[in-house]
Chains A and B, each alone.
Chain A
Amino acid sequence: MRRAEKWLFAGVALVGLVCLAWLIVAGVLLWAVLDPADWATVREALGGRAGLLIFLWALALVPVSAVLRHLIARYITAPARLAEAARLRLDHPVDEPLQADGSFETRQLAAIFNTLIARHRQLQEATDERVAEASRRIELERGRLAALMSELRKSVVVCNLDGRILLYNHRARAQFRRLSGTAEVTGGAELMGLGRSIYTVLDRRLVGHALDTVRRRLDSGTDSPAAQFVTATAGGKLLRVQMSPVTETVDSETEAPRLSGFVLLIENITDDMRADAEKDRLLQSLTEGSRAALANTRAAIEILADGEVDESMRERLLGVIHEEVTGLSERIGQLSDSSAARLRSRWPLEEMLGSELIDAAVRHIEQELPLAAQRKGNGEAIWLKVDSFSILQALAHLAGRVAEAHGANAVELRLSRHSERAALDLLWKAATEANGMDANWEDEPMRTGDEQLSMSVNDVLERHGGTCWHESANGSEHCFRLLLPLAEPGEHPGSQPRQTRESRPEYYDFDLFAITPESHSLDDTELGALTFTVFDTETTGLDPSRDEIIQIGAVRIVNGRVLRQEFFEQLIDPGRSIPTASTAIHGITPEMIRGQPDLDTVLPAFHAFCRDTVLVAHNAAFDMRCLQVAEKRTGVVFDQPVLDTLLLSAVVHEHQAEHNLEAIAERFGLAIIGRHTAIGDAMVTAEIFVRLIPLLAEQGIHTLGEARAAAQKTQFARMRY
């Protein structure tokens, strides 16, 4: 309010001066107007009362200052206060509306300010909500895409232009597991993972050529610019690969869309090729092989027909004919037997548990027809290979005829084994006097409800390589039997236990589209852009020169995210005993490592898993020493750069005393699951590491080189093994 007081002081002084000036001027004027005699009279009259005049003047200043104060408060201070309060609300939202006292105009201003503030806030909230909703929608679509991709029956892999994998589905993962040479150890994870290069599986030139084809087709504006090629993998498997472009949206319509990556649909056609080759071979042996036999026979017959053959010659020719024909019969018999098993139906048949098919059939029949349907018996678990939809159609048709022609109102379904096939029986009791079955239900076109199909039940069974017929023990109990193929053992989709997944596995990271090829050295790359393999080992003891590694656990970090699904976990047989003291720590007993592969098998696989990444471990000096010692034996060299979370934690939290894994995890609020198992520790270390990266950035450490340098400066870096 100092300013206000200054104003007041100035105002009062001004008024005072003005009054004084007026008095003086009045006095001067009076003196000028009055003649000396009158002036002397006035001076006499006023004389001693000049003091009174001064006093009056001073007194008058008091009400003046009061009035002035009021005016200042109203017209200067109040707006100033309003300005202050309003300025505050510019930067921070304040809930209380502006109050103003003062003049009417000031109060109006306050009201307008309040309105403007409220509007601004509404606008802000609306914008925020729109952004949040858009993000939600994008997340939803991503989730849908992920769900779609993960359940597709074809292998799908999406790569950026560098050939780095940024999306793959469940099937691709399973397929690459089969292609991997070290599948029992790595599960194929060294081939298929986010951020890994597709060129470890597919030939770079082949992919490059296909990419060129796709580019050319894109530029020329073809409808579906795709390219196909067939390639053999190192393991001798044949893959058919279809490549489609992923394009960026462009603004103008005249520009051809730009390629930002490609989608690969990968199919393993080794088995198909083999089956086709086998069929061709059978056909070949039948045609070519029979020519000779027929030639021999024909020649013999033609000579016999001549008529001028003597008895012994006739005998011999008949013998020839007999021999050739019997030989041909035998060969046909053999081929027929051997090929019957291999000639599979071209129709797509699925493996299905028999009881599931029956349940579906029961539901279908009860829905479509005025019949009660029931399962009969509880056959053992029979796996069928069927096209369930057409089987259901067939059963519905038959059941319909049953209801019509035999007046039955209930049917039963039974499944049993019948030599090498399965027998699915439709059972019913005829209500009316059955006069046999005039028409063959299996040959007529199937009918469900009002629809008539062009297929018959027989056609459906042909597709399955089976057959069907009608039996009736006495005239009233009937059975219609369908012979269906059994699924080959070991191919059942549900026979592998489904791993319980708490969260949907993340097989994609679309941010990887944008990553450009590494044009600078690793040390200059930002930590967030690098791929890391975080690992931990469990050993028989604490002396790397004498103790052996018995477990390795590792997990990948790509684009700043811990990929929990891309992990490596393996127990190793060390070829020596495990001291009970160490078992007490990591819980690995001699029984657990029995039958596990040895280090010579596992280390190369682990090396493949870590390919092209930066290694991270807690107290990495120890783990790296163990790996170095193993180098001589296995010949596997780990020359990747290494970061140690122990040292980095000391860099970031230099005043903390404890830098062991539990302490750091607690500091970050992380729960440790599986402490002292290699994979458990690796996971925790990984979670710690991703949290260290932003903390390092706050200290000005952004790149790998900077992190390594900073780590070296800590006291722990002095530890040597």
Chain B
Amino acid sequence: MSTILIADDEPNIVISLEYLMKREGHEVLVARDGDEALAMIGEHHPDLVLLDVMMPGRSGFEVLKSVRADETIAGTRILMLTARGRDTDRAKGEALGANGYVVKPFSTRELAEQVREMLGDD
């Protein structure tokens, strides 16, 4: 059983993501902003983080950078979610070390599949 951290400030998507991940059989943690997300990653070492880009306080990119810079958590799998469709954000995410990138709106089936894939290669 894997631990998934959902970091998103929009409760309307968190509710669905949480349900989805629980249904997949994972333990789910929720963070409401970037700082909380970073803290929880450091504390709980989740297997995968669903990270929203546009968050108050620290942005998803900043969290990503901090995670990759910290040796203790640098290997955390991070899947970025964003409502911004720009290709520059995707390039930035990839360059900063995100493992995956999903643009909203997305299909829940496809997201679950991607999560499965990412967790699959241990």
Contacts and interface: CB of A to CB of B under 8 A. Distances in A.
- Contact size range, A: 20 to 34
B116 to A, nearest CB: 22
A53 B87 CA distance: 143
A329 B88 contact: no
Given A329-B105, A332-B105, A481-B95, A470 B87 contact: no
Given A329-B105, A332-B105, A440-B62, A469 B85 contact: no
Interface in A110-152: none
A419 B96 contact: no
A469 B69 contact: no
Contacts of A421: 88, 91
B92 A469 contact: yes
Nearest to A330: B105
B88 A466 contact: yes
B96 A471 contact: yes
Contacts of B86: 340, 467
A567 B92 CA distance: 54
A418 interface: yes
B89 A467 contact: yes
Contacts of B92: 467-469, 483
Contact of A471 (B88, B95, B105): B95
A436 interface: yes
B62 A483 contact: no
B65 interface: yes
A329 B108 CA distance: 13
A465 interface: yes
B95 A469 contact: yes
A420 B95 contact: no
Given A336-B85, A471-B96, A419 B91 contact: yes
Contact of A465 (B85, B88, B95, B107): B88
Contacts of B96: 469, 471
Interface string B93-107: 001100000000101
Given A469-B95, A471-B96, A436 B69 contact: yes
A469 B61 contact: yes
Contacts of A333: 85
A415 to B, nearest CB: 16
Contacts of A440: 62
Contacts of A340: 85-87
Interface in A465-495: 465-471, 481, 483
Contacts of B61: 469
Contact of B65 (A465, A470, A483): A470
Which DSSP category, helix, strand, loop or mixed, fits chain B's interface?
A: helix
B85 A420 contact: no
A470 B66 CA distance: 11
B65 A420 contact: no
Contacts of B65: 437, 469-470
Interface in B36-51: none
A332 B104 CA distance: 10
Interface in B51-97: 61-62, 65-66, 69, 85-89, 91-92, 95-96
Contacts of A466: 88
A483 B92 CA distance: 9
A418 B87 CA distance: 12
Contacts of A465: 88
A483 B95 CA distance: 11
A278 B69 CA distance: 44
Contacts of A325: 105
Contact of A420 (B62, B69, B87, B105): B87
Contacts of A418: 91
A549 B40 CA distance: 87
Nearest to A442: B61
A483 B88 contact: yes
A438 B15 CA distance: 33
A24 to B, nearest CB: 138
A298 to B, nearest CB: 16
Interface in A411-460: 418-421, 436-437, 440
B105 A467 contact: no
Contacts of B88: 421, 465-467, 483
Contacts of A483: 88, 91-92
A329 B105 CA distance: 6
Interface in A281-332: 325-326, 328-329, 332
Interface centre among A332, A420, A469 (most CB of B within 10 A): A469
Nearest to B64: A469
A325 B89 CA distance: 25
A466 B95 CA distance: 14
B115 to A, nearest CB: 19
Contacts of B62: 440
Contacts of A329: 105
Contacts of B69: 436
A432 to B, nearest CB: 16
A345 B105 CA distance: 26
A422 to B, nearest CB: 12
A689 to B, nearest CB: 63
B91 A467 contact: yes
Nearest to B61: A469
A326 B61 CA distance: 28
Contacts of A436: 66, 69
A329 to B, nearest CB: 4
A418 B88 CA distance: 10
Contacts of B91: 418-419, 421, 467, 483
A548 B87 CA distance: 60
A444 B31 CA distance: 26
Nearest to A485: B88
B53 to A, nearest CB: 11
Contacts of B105: 325, 328-329, 332
Contacts of A419: 87, 91
24 contacts: A325-B105, A326-B107, A328-B105, A333-B85, A336-B85, A340-B85, A340-B87, A419-B91, A420-B87, A421-B88, A421-B91, A436-B66, A440-B62, A465-B88, A466-B88, A467-B88, A467-B91, A469-B61, A469-B65, A469-B95, A469-B96, A471-B95, A471-B96, A481-B95
Given A466-B88, A469-B61, 18 more contacts: A328-B105, A332-B105, A333-B85, A336-B85, A418-B91, A419-B91, A420-B87, A421-B88, A421-B91, A436-B66, A467-B88, A467-B91, A467-B92, A468-B92, A471-B95, A471-B96, A483-B88, A483-B92
Of all A-B residue pairs in the complex, the 9 with the closest CB atoms, nearest first, are: A467-B88, A329-B105, A336-B85, A436-B69, A469-B92, A467-B92, A483-B88, A469-B96, A466-B88
Interface of B: 61-62, 65-66, 69, 85-89, 91-92, 95-96, 105, 107
